[in-house]
Amino acid sequence: MVDRPRISRLSTKSMSLLPTVSNLAPGSTTDPTTAVNYENVNLEIQSVHVPSPPILQLEAATINSEIDITGINQLSLLPTKFHLQPLISDENTTCADIYPNSNDLGATVYRKQCIDISKSNDNVLFHQKLKHFFIFSVAGKPIYSLHGNDDLTMGYMGILTTILSTFQEDLDQDVHVIELGSNRVKLVVLNRSPIVLIAISKLPHETEQFLTRQLIVLYKYLLSILSKQTIDRVFHNRLNYDLRRVLSPLDMENLDSLCMKLTFGLQHDGLNSFLGELFTARPSLRIPYTLRKKMDRFLKEQQEEEEDLLFAILSKDNQVTNFVHPKIHTLTNEDLYLLTFIVHSLKNKSEDLWIPLCMPNFNQNGYLYIFLRSWRQLTLILVSGSKNAFDKLKVIADRIIQRAETSQAGHFLENLEQALMKPIRNEVPLVIKHFVYVNKEINQCVISEINDDSDDLKLQLVVYYSLLKQCKSQLEADEIKNGYKKLSYMRWNSSTAFMLSGTSFEFYCVAGDGVDSKNLIEICLKIVNWCKKNKNRLFST
């Protein structure tokens, strides 16, 4: 049998099955993007003798080959200054300006009609949404939809089930991605029988790979709540089983929240969640090394003494500050993210809680048992493999908290809380409005705070970082051997984004207004060096 392509383009008639797409908003087109090679991460820029081939051609962007620099003077190939608007969201820069908006809707109307979640039966409003997620069983039984109510979405899930069945029966293969029309609406499928997950995106900056990652997170959320064994069992006994019977209203709210965070970076801590998933790195919090290690010691002492304590975690919001585990076991970043996400979604945390959760990458068929205690601005998470260990973990929690509160006559805890409140942006020149530093060796990242916490600014950064990551220049094998560093940049009418990459790190940033290009590169290199120098404060190991 001849292999068939993974990407199928449906005819115009089939496009009526899915929401229509708008053209890219005017003014969002980028200028040519250029990648620059660096031999060393310092202020002296060296030459690279063999330029790489042209980079990936992006929709709504023209991308050139890398510049072959023979000396620092060749920075003249870059703009002398980047004439930017300050990265402050205001009435002149809204979601309606940076996302597809062919009907020229105003910002408020656009946000409501195209982005915000709607569970109504309005078919017109349903078709205007930029993003859809569907989860259903292989028998076509609905489980979840980001938009619309049951009456509206059941028909669409039936159509999607028919399309998937057609590929399986007639082509003898699963469909992974379908692109529709000249604007390339993407339909991405993740088949995890007996559950199927589908994402439909009108967003030009979203790739097939990232849409698949979003679906994997949603699938693993279901595993976290139910476990693979439970899901397989209920559908084995009854193929058309309604899985919503065992999902709570909180689970549906959490699925909504995950969809909005992973697509638009919205809701509480949404931008960090989006960037962590985009760069496949766990966001970390800066804490002085001595404070982090002392807290690690308090946790480790109890973990070594009590065999029922498997993992001990301290978190603030959705971010892990300390993580202690035995040598032979650990939790992946995906499991840690879902664990902290679920913990911080719980409504009543005034008392100690005891909940069973499955950690899919640790063991997708069984449960771990989670003891939770809210403590000042922190959450103490103790994980056991025994369902009868609540009383033991409660005593352990008391000991950990007592040790922390009495250490250094109470000054330890005071210093820890003050350190957690210090923003990273205080350490960074004001010209850099936002940055992400990724430590590729441990898959963690540091994300600076934003001065303006508006949704419009978050939506801008989602687009900028997504496009920048797609166009970045990859290091060749000989360049990795010689320790080269590469710089890529993208220019919009209102902003410029930079990406500097090396063998052990990636650095992404959005800069300020009217910056000299040479000075901006030097500042970026200084921030990279600062992150490397302070890695013990920035990352938990």
Residues 456-485, mean pLDDT to the nearest whole number: 74
Residue 78, in any domain of the structure = no
Beta bridge partners of 497: 490, 510
Q: Are residues 392 and 427 in the same domain?
A: no
Q: Are residues 216 and 182 in the same domain?
A: yes
Residues 447-461, mean pLDDT to the nearest whole number: 86
Dist CA 163 CA 167 (whole Å) = 7
For 136-159, the DSSP string reads EETT--EEEESSS-HHHHHHHHHH
pLDDT at 20 over 70: no
Beta bridge partners of 490: 497
Residue 34, in any domain of the structure = no
Residue 50, in any domain of the structure = no
Domain with residue 206: its CATH number is 3.30.450.70
Dist CA 355 CA 343 (whole Å) = 9
Sign for the pseudo-dihedral over CA of 529, 534, 540, 541: positive
Structurally, the chain folds into a number of domains equal to 3
Q: Are residues 114 and 150 in the same domain?
A: yes
Q: Are residues 360 and 370 in the same domain?
A: yes
* H or E element in which residue 165 lies: helix 150-170
- Contact status, residue 147 vs residue 118, Cβ threshold 8 Å: yes
Q: What is the structure's pLDDT at 335?
A: 97
Q: Are residues 110 and 249 in the same domain?
A: yes
Q: Are residues 380 and 499 in the same domain?
A: no
- Compute CA distances 390 → 373, 375, 384, 397, whole Å: 12, 17, 9, 10
- 264, 299, 324: which is the final residue of a domain? 264
Question: What pLDDT digit, counting tens, does each position of 508-541 carry?
Answer: 998 866 667 777 788 888 899 999 999 999 998 7
Q: What is the structure's pLDDT at 477?
A: 54
Q: Are residues 358 and 304 in the same domain?
A: yes
Residue 444, in any domain of the structure = yes
- Contact status, residue 520 vs residue 79, Cβ threshold 8 Å: no
Residues 306-334, mean pLDDT to the nearest whole number: 93
Kindly report which listed range (73-87, 356-370, 416-430) carries the lowest average pLDDT score. Answer: 73-87
Dist CA 29 CA 121 (whole Å) = 35
Residue 335, in any domain of the structure = yes
Q: What is the structure's pLDDT at 329?
A: 92
Residue 16, in any domain of the structure = no
pLDDT at 6 over 80: no
- Of 67 and 209, which is predicted with more confidence? 209
Q: What is the structure's pLDDT at 13?
A: 32
Q: What is the structure's pLDDT at 473?
A: 53
Q: Are residues 468 and 369 in the same domain?
A: no
Q: Are residues 143 and 238 in the same domain?
A: yes
Q: What is the structure's pLDDT at 470?
A: 85
**For residue 191, which of 219, 231, 227, 153 has the smallest C-alpha distance?**
219
Give the pLDDT band of residue 84 (cuts 50, 70, 90): very low
pLDDT at 23 over 80: no
Q: Are residues 159 and 249 in the same domain?
A: yes
Domain range for 400 is 289-421
pLDDT at 476 over 80: no
Mean pLDDT value across the chain: 80
pLDDT at 226 over 60: yes
Q: What is the structure's pLDDT at 482?
A: 58
3-class secondary-structure state, position 186: strand
Q: Are residues 430 and 411 in the same domain?
A: no
For 320-363, the DSSP string reads EEEEE--TT----HHHHHHHHHHHHH-S--SS-EEEEE--HHHH
Kindly report which listed range (46-60, 162-176, 188-202, 365-379) carries the lowest average pLDDT score. Answer: 46-60
Q: What is the structure's pLDDT at 478?
A: 55
* H or E element in which residue 314 lies: strand 311-316
Kindly report which listed range (104-108, 150-154, 156-160, 514-518) carries the lowest average pLDDT score. Answer: 514-518
Kindly report which listed range (334-338, 357-361, 386-390, 415-419) carries the lowest average pLDDT score. Answer: 415-419
Domain with residue 388: its CATH number is 3.30.450.30
What's the gap between Cα 450 and its chain centre? 17
Dist CA 119 CA 476 (whole Å) = 48
Q: What is the structure's pLDDT at 4?
A: 32
Residue 12, in any domain of the structure = no
Q: What is the structure's pLDDT at 494?
A: 64
Residue 205, in any domain of the structure = yes
Residues 80-104, mean pLDDT to the nearest whole number: 62
Q: Are residues 317 and 433 in the same domain?
A: no
| pTM for the predicted model, two decimal places | 0.84
Give the pLDDT band of residue 424 (cuts 50, 70, 90): confident
